[in-house]
Amino acid sequence: MNVAVEEVEDKRSLREFIRLPERLYRNDPLWSPPIWLEERRTFTAGNPLLAHSDYALFLARSDGGAEGRILAYIDHKFNDFYGARIGMFGSFETANRIEVAEALLSGAGRWLAARGMESIRGPLNPVAECWGSLYRGFDRPATFMMPYNPPYYNACLQELGFEKVKDLFAFEGDAGQGYRMPERFIRFREKLLARRPQIHVRRIDMRHLDREAESIWRISNQAIRGNWGWVPYDREELNATLRQLKPIVDPDAIWIVEDAGRTVGFCLGFPDINIILRRIGGRLFPFGFIALLAGRRRLREYRLFGLAVLPEYHSLGLDVLLYMSLFEALAPRGVRMEASYVLEDNSSMINALLKLGLKQTKTYRIYEKALGAATKGGRR
């Protein structure tokens, strides 16, 4: 069957683009729908990432029916920062047919090449660093605001000549399965706080959320500067993330560390509401929002989304203090905590998580291909 690729240009095809995963994953119990109301905002210029990007949405059709989708975009802020000509793709979904994947990726490549891009990289989805194709960990359910896909996505990308550019890891500790904080870290905390009594760890202050968000934004831009793929983090991007998280904020999962009253680090966790989203089909109305609010406090699944400490404090172990405070606050619920994601070359963070007794459970892979080859549409 011939596969045709068309650009999304009207409301009907946009809705088809947005809802396609619901049809592709309808028999997969590990997939979770997004919050559909938020998903519509994702693919408009109201998305802070796309606001400074050129972008196009594409659908692949065979005999009139949609079998795949892809977002192609040029992140000007990224390319200006790195002096690069890299085009991105994301929101990649395909039926299990290499012809569909080839048509989508070739179409995205041609669109990017026509605008001066030299390579295509992805999947890089335009949602809070939702990066990569799931590469290992297919026995575990999707986690909120993390990618999910079947194994054949990787086989398609590799057959079409895409090569690994970076792996991202997820780690897990499950109190319900016997995970406990190693005793040596409890002793470490006692000694550190005795030696530096001006160090204080506290929950987020929900009464002053704007002030706390400002500190998180400031620290994020200083602490992870130089990490692979990092570009300066706009306040608008943080606001978009906070808007998604605000309905599910749990103060027990967001911790701040201060030095003599100055905020120098944070960790940001949240309940993994995908369990509820599977139950309500991603629909907040008319009753889904009630189910979400009522069920979030009973969840034992959590995700550690971000942890950062100012560079001048990296050697003190404040990241350990933050993680311990987070886990101890949630441990009475029998929490299963996923820490994701961690760059494969972030050895200090990986070593810290392993010493804390967490286990690597998932790998996500980001691919890249020269556009000279991508525009031809041929397989290797």
Q: Are residues 217 and 257 in the same domain?
A: yes
Q: What is the dihedral of CA 33, 39, 43, 46, to 10 degrees?
A: -160
Record the tokens describing residue 342, joined without a space. 């961690």
Domain assignment of residue 379, yes or no:
no
Looking up tokens 């990649």 gives 92
Helices then strands, each counted (H, E), the chain: 14, 15
User: How crowded is residue 11: how many other Cβ atoms within 10 Å of its Cβ?
Assistant: 8
Looking up tokens 């796309």 gives 50
What is the model's pLDDT at position 374? 43
Rounded Cα distance, 2 and 256, in Å: 55
User: How crowded is residue 183: how many other Cβ atoms within 10 Å of its Cβ?
Assistant: 8
What is the model's pLDDT at position 258? 97
Domain assignment of residue 87, yes or no:
yes
Please name the amino acid found at residue 22. E
Q: How many domains does the chain have?
A: 2
Please name the amino acid found at residue 368. E
Q: Are residues 306 and 157 in the same domain?
A: no
Domain range enclosing 57: 4-168+365-374
Q: Are residues 212 and 252 in the same domain?
A: yes
Closest CA to 4 of 107, 90, 120: 107
Domain assignment of residue 90, yes or no:
yes
Q: Are residues 219 and 199 in the same domain?
A: yes
What is the model's pLDDT at position 379? 60
> Per this entry, what is the length of the chain?
380
Rounded Cα distance, 82 and 16, in Å: 35
Q: Are residues 243 and 334 in the same domain?
A: yes
Looking up tokens 């999304």 gives 8
What is the model's pLDDT at position 376? 45
Q: Are residues 261 and 138 in the same domain?
A: no
E strands, 78-118, where? Answer: 86-94
What is the model's pLDDT at position 253? 95
Kindly give the parts of the chain with pLDDT less than 70.
Answer: 1, 128-129, 373-380
What is the model's pLDDT at position 51? 85
Domain assignment of residue 111, yes or no:
yes
Domain assignment of residue 131, yes or no:
yes
CATH number at residue 28: 3.40.630.30
Q: Are residues 248 and 339 in the same domain?
A: yes
Q: Which residues of 273-303 are buried (b: 16+ CB within 10 A; e: fewer)?
A: bbbbbbebebebeeebeeebeeebeebbbbb
Q: Are residues 162 and 179 in the same domain?
A: no
Report whether 199 contacts 318 (CB < 8 A): yes
What is the model's pLDDT at position 219? 94
Domain assignment of residue 245, yes or no:
yes
What is the model's pLDDT at position 316? 94
Rounded Cα distance, 243 and 41, in Å: 12
Domain assignment of residue 68, yes or no:
yes
Q: Are residues 306 and 356 in the same domain?
A: yes
Rounded Cα distance, 376 and 247, in Å: 46
Report whether 165 contacts 366 (CB < 8 A): yes
Q: Are residues 96 and 143 in the same domain?
A: yes
Q: Are residues 188 and 280 in the same domain?
A: yes
Q: What is the pLDDT of residues 275-331, one digit of tens each?
A: 999 999 999 888 898 898 889 888 999 999 999 999 999 989 999 999 999 999 999
Domain assignment of residue 380, yes or no:
no
Q: Are residues 105 and 120 in the same domain?
A: yes
What is the model's pLDDT at position 126? 84
Rounded Cα distance, 145 and 77, in Å: 23
Record the tokens describing residue 236, joined without a space. 């608008």
